[in-house]
A and B are shown apart, each in its own frame.
Chain A
């Protein structure tokens, strides 16, 4: 089994290095794409084999070699394949394989084709390190690794120039890449502090040792560790207030958005909370856990509200990702870790599908993102329409689709815990989710062909790419059917969260409420945006001028706030410090030097070769000495 672990882990690395060979100015080489995709598929097969092994024989734990040892600290490269990590591995490698194949088509005409695959496979490698590591430092390797790959991939089209915020809220790919990296680093500092706390209080960073020792620690320390780790999670999973990077990260190529900024990397924070469930389910940190749930709920609603009016097709999907991450945190915060993981997996499938569908639309529309310019694309791109329809239904959470099972379970959990405010907000958000996802579908595929006047000639993606997307579509429909099996499997490792008898009794009604609200959302969207001719959608200038619209359009002015109150003051302070450095710190050094020079210059007058003036100075000196001596005796 050990060798399978290494195959699963290193196959993407080999793919990345292979593509890297054709770096630099080497011309586009189709082989790189196919080699990288094949190796990813190998990694997927190995992950599935490991999953089967874990089901039958339990977890696999391997230690490859030492990494850092100093003082009492000893960190190995160790990998743990248990129920939780193998779930992540299968999800990550499956989505990655699809996205790799998709990219061979999508990036077909890009001159940096080879570079793209090198980065993309490197990302998967980092992500696998993140989920497979058996200790916090190893997790941090993957944590930072995915951050760098995200930086490289968001800034993939680095040659694009900066544009003002009003024209493009994400300014430019390179700007968005830097923003993502720096904002994540803020969170990473929290994570590091958490690691230090763990080390100095427990003496090890290995999960098994740490979690075994946790119950013996003082409450204050446990709370501090939980807060620090969650700050780390907030960065990667883009929770408020560290969320603005995620929508800006949409500057990256769409397959990147699908893989990294929807299905995998952004779920790392959720994964961390799930992984550290022995900590977060302790009584002492229940306050932190409740905060996690509350923040998640807030973000779910907050992001969904912005998605209601967004015009940029990718931003809509990104905001829905943000919102769904909020759902996952709500579940994890309430203690339903396995439900959070289940939603994580289901979300990975339908959200990747949704993004890839959006990519097809962009591809067809020559990289146009504005849904106001689309419409009636159904005929031209039937395949993509069906996929996006499936994904949106799954996201909206209609029965038999994956999202119905996973999201409903989260909402039910909120009810079960008696946190009715969270429950209420999540229900309302579910309705908003259904509305905005179908708003986007109807805008792009139904209604008048607004694009015709603008001179677009849309055409669907390559056939093989559409075929490659099929596994995601199948899972987006059917993944929920395996909920009970998944539960039986995963609760060997995670706490088995059960609904109370009372909740069970009312489950049918709770589910019905959610479905009714979701359907209502879809119907409203259909009425407003899918009409043709006389019923066709028209811009509502009055609404667009309203305060609420402006507020949502400007993302509640949070990016503006960051710019005004963080970026600008930092820049000004830096300039000021530099001026101080030159004038005061360096200036005083020069002043001392000049004082020496000057005093020499002045006293040079004494050496004038005039004997009588020498005698005068001698007399003065002697007098001074006498006075000094007299004073010294007087003072005694």
Chain B
């Protein structure tokens, strides 16, 4: 099947439109069925994917506006493949976890399926305009999900989320248009093909401004300090499913953008900006981890911890070596799975008690032992315990970044300390100690629906922690290719020095 990527992108949206005519009662079942098919499609993509080929695969190319070089251009490589699979999997599990009595279930399912299209679309687009379309479209269903199913101040949170990220994206759009213009100046034709842009030689000045333009869009999405404040609001108000997808997939668009656009197109600027990115990322890691420790609300702890971990991903992206960059791609996946699972787990207790305040709990380990165990596994993955998925990426990122800055690595490495401080404090406050609140007696442990959504994630956490090779190998291949491309493309010797594809070469 040569159009598997188109199928992956548009199947959920088409099925979503059909979803309007589905009976209200069977809306959830319909959603699960569609998401399951989509997930199987993405697995099929993996099976047919050639792991030894580092380049783009399953490419599709249809010119849309030929005179401006805009085309429907899709492709997937080792970097995007697993993010796509993670997106479809998290969507499926998220839909499974939806409560039967969710109000307006049909609209929810349609929103989610539409969102799924935009998510897959962003990660497989090779044309900047198509990428931008999916990038912006992803805001709409999420705006709706937060605004319609959220908490008391949902409208404020939703609008903030929308306007903040939209403002950044517009600056990014200017950058994208400028790229096409510069390409036209150099090559004489317009092109929005990202792979074409990889070959473009830009001056240091051009790279500088373009980097900043891209940065505006990506950094707000990540979200990097100090542009992160929309996230706690969004998480605080979003329903469980919204938070799960937001944390697991939508944030990855930002870091993915840096990998797909900033690094290969602007290698010299990327290297020059590394200290700047490093400082922001280190603040992100330490500062937000401390803010996470101060939270009273369980969900806010996870929200801030999410920002903190995104900081580790960011320094990995700018490590400029295969260990760090590959590690950060892997960490995007593991962060998606672990933070997704943690938001699901918070949702579980919120459904039972109608509160997320840690002071309301205590002793849950005794009343809900299976829940506590699953939470414990995810906690350990979150603090990066070896043999869980969380360790592999974090270890590689820190290892890779060590080459860039020793002090930076030690500060970033403090995440293994401060990360365990807030997570263990959360666990102690909520799960340990005597059961003091009467309302916590006789709470129901995880039921079949919740276990169906959570156990696959537990299995993946252990599987990829013990045997990450099937995922890490294709990532590593594509990352090395990207670094080679960067090095060839780079104009300044200092950039070439900073990029390390193989250690042997560095000696």
Contact = CB atoms under 8 A, between A and B. Distances in A.
Interface residues of A, number: 54
A213 to B, nearest CB: 13
B294 A574 contact: yes
Given A160-B434, A174-B428, A586-B229, A71 B294 contact: no
Interface in B427-443: 428, 431-435
A148 B383 CA distance: 11
B468 interface: yes
Interface in A113-172: 137, 140-141, 144-145, 148, 155, 158-162, 172
Contact of A574 (B230, B291, B398, B417): B291
Contacts of B434: 159-161
A23 B229 contact: no
A71 B432 contact: no
B433 A70 contact: no
A570 B480 CA distance: 41
Interface stretch (A188-196, A275-283, A353-361): A188-196
B189 interface: no
A193 B410 contact: yes
Contacts of B400: 71
A577 B287 CA distance: 7
B476 A70 contact: yes
B484 interface: no
A72 to B, nearest CB: 4
A543 interface: no
A66 interface: yes
Contacts of A178: 424-425, 428
A578 B303 CA distance: 13
Contacts of A189: 410, 413-414, 416-417
Interface stretch (B27-35, B135-143, B251-259, B319-327): B319-327
Interface string B292-329: 01110000000000000000000000000111001100
Contacts of B164: 589
B321 A192 contact: no
B416 A172 contact: no
Main secondary structure of the interface of A (DSSP, over half): helix
A199 interface: yes
B395 to A, nearest CB: 7
A577 B290 CA distance: 7
Given A140-B386, A159-B434, A70 B410 contact: no
Given A189-B417, A192-B398, A589-B229, A578 B472 contact: no
A24 B503 contact: no
B293 A175 contact: no
Contacts, number: 164
Interface string B77-109: 000000000000000000000000000000000
A197 B287 CA distance: 26
B369 interface: yes
A137 B366 CA distance: 35
Contacts of B424: 178, 181-182
Interface in A303-350: none
Contacts of B417: 182, 185-186, 189
B402 interface: yes
Given A68-B472, A70-B327, A570-B290, A159 B414 contact: no
A23 B373 contact: yes
Interface in B399-416: 399-400, 402-403, 406, 409-410, 413-414, 416
Among A23, A65, A140, A192, max chain B CB count under 10 A is at: A192
B163 interface: yes
Nearest to B159: A593
Interface in B370-405: 370, 373, 380, 383, 385-387, 391-392, 395-396, 398-400, 402-403
A183 to B, nearest CB: 9
Among A137, A145, A200, max chain B CB count under 10 A is at: A200
Among B225, B321, B387, B414, max chain A CB count under 10 A is at: B387
Contacts of A68: 392, 395-396, 468-469, 472
B26 interface: no
B273 interface: no
Nearest to A144: B386
Interface string B142-176: 00000000000000000010011000000000000
Interface string B447-489: 0000000000000000000111100110110011000000000
Report the 8 A-B pairs with minimum CB-CB distance, sorted nearest first: A71-B322, A174-B432, A586-B229, A71-B323, A574-B294, A578-B294, A196-B402, A158-B432
14 contacts: A66-B469, A68-B472, A137-B386, A144-B391, A159-B432, A174-B428, A178-B425, A182-B421, A189-B410, A192-B413, A192-B416, A193-B410, A589-B164, A593-B163
Given A72-B503, A158-B431, A577-B294, 13 more contacts: A24-B373, A68-B395, A69-B476, A73-B399, A137-B386, A144-B391, A145-B385, A158-B366, A159-B363, A182-B420, A188-B416, A203-B503, A571-B293
